[in-house]
Amino acid sequence: MIKLVQTLLSSISVGSLYALIALGYTMVYGTLKFINFAHASIFMLGAWFSAIIAAALLANGVTGIPAIVLSILIVMVICTTLGFVIERLAYRPLRDAPRLNVLITAIGVALLIENVAALNDVKIPGTQTTIHGFGTQPGKMPELLANADLFSIPLGSGTVVVDKVDALILGLSICLMIVLEFIIYNTRLGAAMRAASHDARTAALMGIPVDRTISITFIIGTSLAAAAGFLYVMKYPSINPPVAVTWGLLGLKAFVAAVVGGIGNVRGAVVGGLLIGILEQAGAAYLSPHFRDVYVFALLIFVLLVRPTGIFGSTAVEKV
Amino acid sequence: MALLEIRNLNVHYGAIHALQGINVTVEQGKIVTLLGANGAGKSTTLRAISGLLRQVKGDILYQGRSLFGRPPHDIVRDGIAQVPEGRGIFPDLSVLENLNLGAYIRSDKKGIEEDRERALTLFPRIRERLQQKAGTLSGGEQQMLATARALLARPKLLLLDEPSLGLAPQIVLTIFRIIREINETGTTILLVEQNAHMALQAAHYAYVLECGRITMHDDAKALAESDAVKKAYLGG
């Protein structure tokens, strides 16, 4: 019983991380109709920047809740700015190009980010400027929250422990998702985003600046990946080097979450993320921890066989 | 000065020369119709006006200024709204959200409210369905919604692409009655149609488009009487 509740708790925590990343994939797919392979790289940058900023804050005597709030805000601003630049330079010029071109560009962007991030200090010839990369060694997220238990509930013969970090992950993810839900379903911008994602040409006929709307959608997705990066290193403080395959694998699993939920569907991404979290954690707890990735991809195969549009995906019906 | 003047418009889709130098003039306050069969270039003309096409030559003057090179959303701001072919309803958005998107370029809440009331009075069937998803509407209701939505942009020039397509005769009559009502309130209309009979009844002036060229143009009444049009488009 305790094991069940504890597994469920960690499932929700891990699941909301997947959901945050999956939202970015699904939003970009919804408007730009391509899979942004560089999304996992943004997540990786979010994780690394979090560690650097948190360390800098701690060194300046900022601790506790202010440090958490500040780091997450700064990380989101940095990654969002990067997302804006990427969209502007790499994807926007390809608006009318075949989707395959954009897909390949996304892979290129991912490789570029990874490899620049993996640089050590590089002097730019002829100047005093040095680029500091994250290098090829693992990093460490300083402890912002003393990794204590938030509370423990006695249950039967033992106790269920709720970790502060898990509570933070859950709380922040829910907040971000509520904000996103509000933007998409209750604002003029959200209506424009949904319109542009359904039919960009008709959206333009409504006077919607489609290019700008798409850019905004893109950078919202990016900011969520940054937040996920922060929460991830809060939970798992040893950070893999930028070129490690773990980032790609995490991104891929979040992408599976988006597909399982129905790619292009925002609510689907959240449900898919949670589902993946539960499957992975329950599989690791009850079957074998060695196959945690296998469960996820088995679910993908199952969904693609049974319901290829995903849980919330629908095949569009055209009326004449 | 004409509200809209298309001068020697040429459009290429790859190797296909879709419009081969057409000239069309739309006078302020009139209903002008562009008749022609499938593939004659009617929708292409409207797309060119709305700024949706890249490979265009010639010129399109609106209130004396060229529309070329301007993004579509900017052209809407200038007062040209289009109800596109196939109506362009967003099926996953509610009817009300669809309507409000029509007023996307405006921020005068009170004016929008008034115009929405006016549009819903023109189309009472839409009012009953405001909270429904637009995809659940019938074809006729979708046409009404699309037209009402375009009116919310408070256009000076309304472009209608085959409003009668696929609709029951009774609904076509209603739509054309409303098109005339809209025109009587001062909105200039450029109407693209295959249904020459209805279009010539409603319009003041008409152009016939065949394979990318204007082959005839005259007052709508005169054109309706001409033998060539009778034979080709009016079944007699």
The answer to whether residue A150 sits within a structural domain is: no
In three-state secondary structure terms, B171 is helix
Look at chain A and report how many structural domains it folds into.
1
pLDDT of residue B32: 97
**Chain position carrying tokens 């040429």:** B10
**Chain B hits for A191, Cβ within 8 Å:** 93, 97, 100-101
| More confident site: A155 or B115 | B115
Quote the tokens at residue B50.
């709305």
Q: What percent of chain A has pLDDT over 70?
A: 97
The continuous run of DSSP H or E covering B148 comes out as: helix B139-151
State pLDDT tens for residues A272-287: 999 999 999 999 999 9
Q: Please indicate whether, in this complex, the C-beta atoms of B76 and A205 are within 8 angstroms of each other.
A: yes
Mean pLDDT of A206-231: 95
The answer to whether residue A149 sits within a structural domain is: no
Instruction: Identify the closest residue of chain B to A194 by CA–CA distance.
Output: B93
**B74, B92, B101: best to mutate for the A interface, most A CBs within 10 A:** B101
Q: Please indicate whether, in this complex, the C-beta atoms of B153 and A207 are within 8 angstroms of each other.
A: yes
Cβ atoms of residues A110 and A41 within 8 Å = yes
Q: Which of B71, B77, B90 sits opposite A195 (nearest CB)?
A: B90
Q: Which amino acid is at B44?
A: T
* Residue range of the domain that includes A191: 2-119+133-142+156-306
The answer to whether residue A147 sits within a structural domain is: no
pLDDT of residue A317: 46
| CATH class, B1-79+155-236 region | alpha beta
Q: Please indicate whether, in this complex, the C-beta atoms of B149 and A206 are within 8 angstroms of each other.
A: yes
**Chain A hits for B100, Cβ within 8 Å:** 188, 191
pLDDT of residue A163: 84
State pLDDT tens for residues B117-131: 999 999 999 999 999
In the structure, what pLDDT confidence band is assigned to residue A315 with cuts at 50, 70 and 90?
low
Domain CATH for A171: 1.10.3470
Q: How far apart are the first and last CA of chain B?
A: 37
**B73, B133, B141: best to mutate for the A interface, most A CBs within 10 A:** B73
In the structure, what pLDDT confidence band is assigned to residue B226 with cuts at 50, 70 and 90?
confident
pLDDT of residue A320: 41
3-state secondary structure chain A: CHHHHHHHHHHHHHHHHHHHHHHHHHHHHHHHCCCCCCHHHHHHHHHHHHHHHHHHHHHCCCCHHHHHHHHHHHHHHHHHHHHHHHHHHHHHHHCCCCHHHHHHHHHHHHHHHHHHHCCCCEECCCCCCEECCCCCCCEECCCCCCCCEEEEEEECCEEEEEEHHHHHHHHHHHHHHHHHHHHHHHCHHHHHHHHHHHCHHHHHHCCCCHHHHHHHHHHHHHHHHHHHHHHHHHHCCEECCCCCHHHHHHHHHHHHHHHHHCCCCHHHHHHHHHHHHHHHHHHHHHHCHHHHHHHHHHHHHHHHHHCCCCCCCCCCCCCC
Cβ atoms of residues B29 and B188 within 8 Å = yes
Instruction: Identify the closest residue of chain A to B72 by CA–CA distance.
Output: A204
Answer whether B88 touches A (CB < 8 Å).
yes
Size of interface A-B (CB pairs under 8 A): 75
**Which of A286-291's residues contact partners 24+ apart within 8 Å by CB, and which partners?**
A286/A7
pLDDT of residue A318: 42
Q: Interior CA angle at A40 toward A104 and A197, to 5°? A: 65
Quote the tokens at residue A65.
């809740």
pLDDT of residue B201: 93
Instruction: Identify the closest residue of chain A to B52 by CA–CA distance.
Output: A201
State pLDDT tens for residues A73-127: 999 999 999 999 999 999 999 988 898 999 999 999 999 999 989 887 777 777 7
**Chain B hits for A192, Cβ within 8 Å:** 101, 104
Answer whether B148 touches A (CB < 8 Å).
no
User: Would the ipTM clear 0.85, i.e. be above it?
Assistant: yes
Phi and psi torsions of B154, nearest 5°: 50, 60
In the structure, what pLDDT confidence band is assigned to residue B236 with cuts at 50, 70 and 90?
low
Write the CB contacts of B129 (distance below 8 Å, at least 6 apart in sequence): B95, B136, B137, B141
Q: Which of B 40-59 lie inside 8 A of A, CB atoms?
A: 50-52
State pLDDT tens for residues A22-37: 999 999 998 888 889 9
pLDDT of residue A128: 75
Instruction: Identify the closest residue of chain A to B81 by CA–CA distance.
Output: A205
Mean pLDDT of A152-172: 84
| More confident site: A314 or A317 | A314
Largest Cα span, chain B: 51
Mean pLDDT of B73-94: 94
**What is the torsion angle, in degrees rounded to the nearest 10, for the CA atoms of residue B66, residue B68, residue B74 and residue B78?**
20
Q: Please indicate whether, in this complex, the C-beta atoms of A210 and B73 are within 8 angstroms of each other.
A: yes
Answer whether B85 touches A (CB < 8 Å).
no
Give the integer Cα–Cα distance in Å for A208 and B74. Answer: 9
Q: Which of A207, A317, A320 sits opposite B76 (nearest CB)?
A: A207
pTM metric for this prediction: 0.86
- Could you tell me whether strands A238-239 and A139-140 are parallel, antiparallel, or unpaired per DSSP bridges? antiparallel
Domain ranges of chain B: 1-79+155-236, 89-154
| More confident site: B28 or B230 | B28
Mean pLDDT of A210-238: 94
Q: Which of A188, A199, A201 sits opposite B104 (nearest CB)?
A: A188
Mean pLDDT of B20-42: 94
Answer whether B97 touches A (CB < 8 Å).
yes
The answer to whether residue A313 sits within a structural domain is: no
